[in-house]
Amino acid sequence: MSRALRLARRGLYCTHPNPRVGCVIVADSGKVVGEGFHVRAGEPHAEVHALRAAGERAYGGTAYVSLEPCSHQGRTPPCVDALIAAGIRRVVAAMQDPNPQVAGSGLRRLAAAGIEVDCGLLEAEARALNAGFIKRMEQGLPLVRVKLAMSLDGRTAMQNGQSQWITGAAARAAVQRLRAQSSVVLTGADTVLADHARLTVRPAEMDVNEEQARLAASRPPLRVLLDSRLRVPLSAPFYQAGKALTVCHQASAKVRQSFQAAGHELLAAADASGHIDLFELLRLLAGRGVNEVLVEAGATLSGAFARAGLVDEYQLFVAPKFLGSTARALLDLPLERLGEAHALSILDIRAVGEDFRIIARPL
Amino acid sequence: MSRALRLARRGLYCTHPNPRVGCVIVADSGKVVGEGFHVRAGEPHAEVHALRAAGERAYGGTAYVSLEPCSHQGRTPPCVDALIAAGIRRVVAAMQDPNPQVAGSGLRRLAAAGIEVDCGLLEAEARALNAGFIKRMEQGLPLVRVKLAMSLDGRTAMQNGQSQWITGAAARAAVQRLRAQSSVVLTGADTVLADHARLTVRPAEMDVNEEQARLAASRPPLRVLLDSRLRVPLSAPFYQAGKALTVCHQASAKVRQSFQAAGHELLAAADASGHIDLFELLRLLAGRGVNEVLVEAGATLSGAFARAGLVDEYQLFVAPKFLGSTARALLDLPLERLGEAHALSILDIRAVGEDFRIIARPL
């Protein structure tokens, strides 16, 4: 199963909206006879790749798969049928399908066909690999990851806005990988205007092997810009860098046409108070198959996600320096009493080049 | 030598103003026949303890000592003479005496007596253990460690001052140990007034074994209060908790008498601009044998040390929470341009209970 998960991880940058899944077929002799991973939506599932590689050697063998095999006809035929047809004797899944309406039905169909079935091996690892997909299936919302680059004293830029290259090359490569694994990279107008940010994935800067860079390039995330008053011109590098989805308060037919003509999508969405409703936006994105959203924005928009309780994970890239007490705050998050502090759970701290990265989740 | 250093560390809380030193005597057979560590100034050095334990078995043996043996008559006789008298065949020292005026003379005297001498084994570890003593010997200044407790977003307290228990019990125990290993714990009037802080070492809260707690209790650090305008009354818990040294701008004879009567020391020291000159204060403390100063103060005083470039090491205890953008800054450190940022080198990051600790040095 550990091997199946490692295979699944090879799809980190390309399977969305589908989950990352790996499969290993082990013959009765204990020998691995086939393996595979899901690469891209519309293409064969991991089980199919593994069964093809195994051929007749799959007969009587065990299939280790990091997610319950599907039992429904989607863009590809059900994997359950393929496993039964190949004469697999036993199926071990790391976890059930997270869709509450289908969870367990694939395993039940295998069992009904006389196949020995087990589920739950390395389940925590399997769930972590597809946390966004699982959240979308279970809650109809994508996983929201907020990335921030800060100094050791919690500042993101000087008062005058100076902030370029706070963190080093290794941290920037890690951010590229975070973008590549996301279905959506979401930002705000201030960031795009101030930094001329494009927020694209540049595979050559990801510091991954050729296969991974190629897979990432084949499935770039959708870039979503929150620009209530449409301050960012279509001539900005952000729009020149490829198709984007822009969310604003309102737009005339003429503006809509200009966006359409430039290959972008424009969405007018404001709540009663004239703000963009982040929760509704996330629901809308989930409805489009978005599993993981990376928020790469300034203190205002990142703070809005934090205040609304919509953050699943913070990725804090911390540079070993002090920017001082007049520098800009990490998040626009005004709190009065200690009891209002946002409690977090630290999942990981590790060095990333000269910097370090803290992964934390709100408690 | 590793064992000698481990022994030396047992003196972490009690040898100041002396260095921590450990000694192991190994007989010709390879067997450890004696060991010891320096406990307290005025008491025998590590070599004497080790030679006493070895007795006649020291003859022909090797002495591993974490610091060059002394060759001068101090409050105790020279260790060089004792090693020669015991018939030691070889001496291995981790490092030379850091006092530039005596460095190497002990080793030379041993060599002149026909003893085989080596120096430099595990030197980095030996230097780290006595970094404050070494700095005082080499530069006439103590090592300055600034301890700060902060949230993950670099804040120390809410705007209203609420800050108690930001970090947990394990972090507080670590702070107790930092205090205990310091010659001086230095603070400011705001901290003492706001938190009723005593800044004492409470050995029971150090989370160390009985021996270490007992040794720490036997040699508490001097508490130094910077209180320019003498705002802290002698009735404050800080003064009630034991002898302290207070530094102010100026004091009348009557005020001086009241401090003296209460068992405290009062020092008037202001530069031309009416500020306490921190550099001169540190020089004065070094002159009194202070090796390590722990600054436990608010953003103003800690920031003053940072701005003056007088900090050797930051000990940042980080609680896994966000206190938000209106909370108080880590350091009073107004900087305008990115180029003015204080660059740091991270020495260590590790979990301390629910919190984590970052040890960083200015570059």
Instruction: Using a CB–CB cutoff of 8 Å, tell me whether A330 touches chain B.
Output: yes
Distance, CA of A51 to CA of A42 (rounded, Å)? 18
Mutation to test the B interface, candidates A322, A359, A363, most B Cβ within 10 Å: A322
Instruction: Using a CB–CB cutoff of 8 Å, tell me whether B336 touches chain A.
Output: yes
Name the residue type at position A94: A
Distance, CA of A240 to CA of A234 (rounded, Å)? 7
Looking at the fold, whether A293 and A317 belong to one and the same domain comes out as yes
Contacts of A8 (CB under 8 A, 6+ apart): A20, A21, A22, A37, A38, A46, A66, A67, A126, A129
**Is B354 within the bounds of a domain?**
yes
**Is A179 within the bounds of a domain?**
yes
**Is B136 within the bounds of a domain?**
no
Distance, CA of B259 to CA of B261 (rounded, Å)? 5
Residue with tokens 């989805």: A245
> For A26, phi and psi rounded to 5 degrees?
-115, 125
Q: What secondary structure does DSSP assign to A231-254, as a single string?
A: -S-TTSHHHHTS-EEEEES---HH
Distance, CA of B90 to CA of A335 (rounded, Å)? 65
Mutation to test the B interface, candidates A331, A335, A354, most B Cβ within 10 Å: A335
Half-sphere CA count of B316, side-chain side, radius 13 A: 31
**Is A135 within the bounds of a domain?**
no
Residue A70 to residues A19, A85, A99, B23, Cα–Cα distance (Å): 12, 14, 11, 68
Beta-carbon contacts below 8 Å between A and B: 142
Instruction: Using a CB–CB cutoff of 8 Å, tell me whether A171 touches chain B.
Output: no
Among B104, B129, B154, residue at a domain's last position: B129
Q: What secondary structure does DSSP assign to B132-196, as a single string?
A: HHHHHHHHS--EEEEEEEEETTSB-S-TT---TTSS-HHHHHHHHHHHHH-SEEEEEHHHHHHH-
Looking at the fold, whether A50 and A159 belong to one and the same domain comes out as no
Name the residue type at position A55: G
Give the residues across from B357 on adjacent strands.
B317, B350
Which helix (H) or strand (E) segment is B248 a member of? strand B244-248
Tell me which residue range forms the domain holding A125.
2-129
Residues of B in contact with A358 (CB under 8 A): 152
Question: Are the Cβ atoms of A343 and B320 closer than 8 angstroms?
Answer: yes
Nearest Cα of chain A lies from the Cα of B187 at a distance, in angstroms, of: 20
Strand B22-26 and strand B62-65: pairing?
antiparallel
Give the model's pLDDT for residue A250.
Answer: 87
**Is A195 within the bounds of a domain?**
yes
Looking at the fold, whether A147 and A252 belong to one and the same domain comes out as yes
Looking at the fold, whether B10 and B95 belong to one and the same domain comes out as yes
Give the residues across from A187 on adjacent strands.
A225
Query: pLDDT by residue for chain B (363 residues), tens digit each?
Result: 999 999 999 999 999 999 999 999 999 899 999 999 999 998 999 999 999 999 999 999 999 999 999 988 777 788 999 999 999 999 999 999 998 777 899 999 999 999 999 999 999 999 999 999 999 999 999 999 999 999 999 999 898 888 766 889 999 999 999 999 999 999 999 999 988 899 999 999 999 999 999 999 999 999 999 999 999 999 999 999 999 999 998 889 999 999 999 999 999 887 777 778 999 999 999 999 999 999 999 999 999 999 999 999 999 999 999 999 999 999 999 999 999 999 999 999 999 999 999 999 999
**Is B28 within the bounds of a domain?**
yes
Contacts of A346 (CB under 8 A, 6+ apart): A358, A359, A360, B320, B351, B356
A196 annotated binding-site participant: no
Distance, CA of B204 to CA of B191 (rounded, Å)? 23
Among B82, B106, B129, residue at a domain's last position: B129
Q: List, for residues B277-332, the tens digit of each pLDDT value.
A: 999 999 999 999 999 999 999 999 999 999 999 999 999 999 999 999 999 999 99
B296 annotated binding-site participant: yes
Looking at the fold, whether B149 and B258 belong to one and the same domain comes out as yes
In this structure, what token pair is assigned to residue A122?
């390395």
Looking at the fold, whether B124 and B167 belong to one and the same domain comes out as no
Question: Are the Cβ atoms of A344 and B321 closer than 8 angstroms?
Answer: yes
Nearest CA in chain B to A323: B341
Mutation to test the B interface, candidates A146, A150, A151, A152, most B Cβ within 10 Å: A152
Q: Which of residues 109-128 of A touch B (CB under 8 A)?
A: none
Looking at the fold, whether B339 and B284 belong to one and the same domain comes out as yes
- C-alpha of A15 from chain center: 10
Nearest CA in chain B to A332: B325
Residue B312 to residues A73, B146, B294, Cα–Cα distance (Å): 66, 8, 10
Candidates B331, B337, B356; nearest CB to A153: B331
**pTM for the whole structure:** 0.91
Q: Annotated catalytic residue: which of A47, A68, A292, A313?
A: A47
Give the model's pLDDT for residue A353.
Answer: 93
Q: In 10 A of CB A55, how many CB atoms?
A: 12
Looking at the fold, whether B73 and B152 belong to one and the same domain comes out as no
Show the CA angle centred on residue B136, arms to residues B133 and B139, nearest 5°. Answer: 140
> For B119, phi and psi rounded to 5 degrees?
-145, 140
- Contact indicator for B56, B38 with CB cutoff of 8 Å: no
Q: Encode A275-301: b = buried (16+ Cβ within 10 Å), e = exposed.
A: ebbbeebbeebbeeebbbbbbbbbbeb
Residue with tokens 């540079």: A319
Total tally of structural domains belonging to chain B: 2
Among A107, A129, A151, residue at a domain's last position: A129
Query: pLDDT by residue for chain A (363 residues), tens digit each?
Result: 999 999 999 999 999 999 999 999 999 899 999 999 999 998 999 999 999 999 999 999 999 999 999 988 777 788 999 999 999 999 999 999 998 777 899 999 999 999 999 999 999 999 999 999 999 999 999 999 999 999 999 999 898 888 766 889 999 999 999 999 999 999 999 999 988 899 999 999 999 999 999 999 999 999 999 999 999 999 999 999 999 999 998 889 999 999 999 999 999 887 777 778 999 999 999 999 999 999 999 999 999 999 999 999 999 999 999 999 999 999 999 999 999 999 999 999 999 999 999 999 999
Looking at the fold, whether A167 and A117 belong to one and the same domain comes out as no
Give the model's pLDDT for residue B216.
Answer: 96
Question: Are the Cβ atoms of A330 and B322 closer than 8 angstroms?
Answer: yes
**Is B135 within the bounds of a domain?**
no
Looking at the fold, whether A63 and A211 belong to one and the same domain comes out as no
Looking at the fold, whether B320 and B201 belong to one and the same domain comes out as yes
Question: Are the Cβ atoms of A160 and B320 closer than 8 angstroms?
Answer: no
- Contact indicator for B26, B136 with CB cutoff of 8 Å: no
Cα dihedral value A270, A276, A282, A288, nearest 10: 50
**Is B353 within the bounds of a domain?**
yes
Looking at the fold, whether A357 and A270 belong to one and the same domain comes out as yes
CATH number of the domain where residue B198 is located: 3.40.430.10
Whether the bond into A17 is cis, omega within 30 of 0: yes
Give the model's pLDDT for residue A160.
Answer: 86
In this structure, what token pair is assigned to residue A206?
């990801």
Give the model's pLDDT for residue A76.
Answer: 79
CATH number of the domain where residue A86 is located: 3.40.140.10
A298 annotated binding-site participant: yes
Give the model's pLDDT for residue A244.
Answer: 97
Distance, CA of B210 to CA of B204 (rounded, Å)? 9
Question: Are the Cβ atoms of A338 and B158 closer than 8 angstroms?
Answer: yes
Q: In 10 A of CB B135, how many CB atoms?
A: 19
Candidates B321, B340, B346; nearest CB to A342: B321
Distance, CA of A244 to CA of A255 (rounded, Å)? 15
Nearest Cα of chain B lies from the Cα of A177 at a distance, in angstroms, of: 23
